[in-house]
Amino acid sequence: MRLLLAEDDALLGDGLQAGLRQAGFQVDWVRDGVAAEHALAGGTYAALVLDLGLPRRSGEELLSRLRAKGARLPVLILTARDGVGDRVRGLDAGADDYLVKPADLQELAARLRALVRRARGEASPRLRAGAVELDPATREVTLKGARVLLQPREFALLHELMLNAGRALSRQQLEERLYAWGEEIGSNAVEVHVHHLRRKLGPDVVRTVRGVGYLVARDERG
């Protein structure tokens, strides 16, 4: 899952980016409000982590502009302002969650996963597709109850497809969601990861939709 992190503090941004990456997210980091807006206009993000005290355009302003445009992107405010009034204002301005610095990275990652899940209308944190189960929190994948070891990128690809179960995603869409800025993408990286997934989970989990992309079928039981 690809996140946009808007944080002007160099050291904190760097730490959050590294920490969220460790938690399995792809993180693009911008340091002011205008850059955040440009990034949101041009990329596909699963969620936005927003600091309120951003230079050039404040977090509040960015958020209200975003909501005014009808964007449904989950937004988590991460700020040093801890007053109840601040929280209320932030949530009322359109934020989905509010965390006060210093936040626990694990908690931040869990809240982001929950935000993404809710945004997709899922109730259960675990995703299921046929015999395959994926737990976003523990980053475990099981096939018929047996644990399957996946490389981080393979996990991320399966996660994206399962989050969008029933909907085909193009190679380009997948690349966008799997890779942050500046990460090198091999020309057939997605194909390679799909190939590995099929080898580990069986050929039927990820289907190819010719001329469109890839699909994980929606699990009717779940």
Which residues of this chain interact with another protein, rule CB under 8 A?
Answer: 9-12, 14-16, 18-19, 22, 31-32, 55-56, 80-82, 100-106
Nearer to another protein, 20 or 127 (CB): 20
**Spatial distance between the Cα atoms of 65 and 58, rounded to a whole number of angstroms:** 11
Contact of 219 with 128, CB cutoff 8 Å: yes
- Amino acid in the structure at residue 38: H
Token pair 């997934």: residue: 197
- Sign of the torsion formed by the C-alpha atoms of 7, 8, 10 and 12: negative
Residue 46 CB, nearest distance to another protein (Å)?
20
Residue 184 CB, nearest distance to another protein (Å)?
17
Nearer to another protein, 105 or 192 (CB): 105
- Amino acid in the structure at residue 75: V
Nearer to another protein, 86 or 122 (CB): 86
Residue 148 CB, nearest distance to another protein (Å)?
20
Query: Long-range contacts for 138-146 (Cβ within 8 Å, ≥24 apart)?
Result: 139/24, 141/201, 143/200, 143/201, 143/202
Q: Is 70 left (phi over 0), alpha (psi -120 to 50) or beta?
A: left
Residue 29 CB, nearest distance to another protein (Å)?
12
Residue 109 CB, nearest distance to another protein (Å)?
10
Residue 217 CB, nearest distance to another protein (Å)?
34
- Amino acid in the structure at residue 52: L
Helices and strands in the chain: count of H runs, count of E runs: 8, 11
Burial class (CB in 10 A: 0-12, 13-18, 19+), 72: exposed
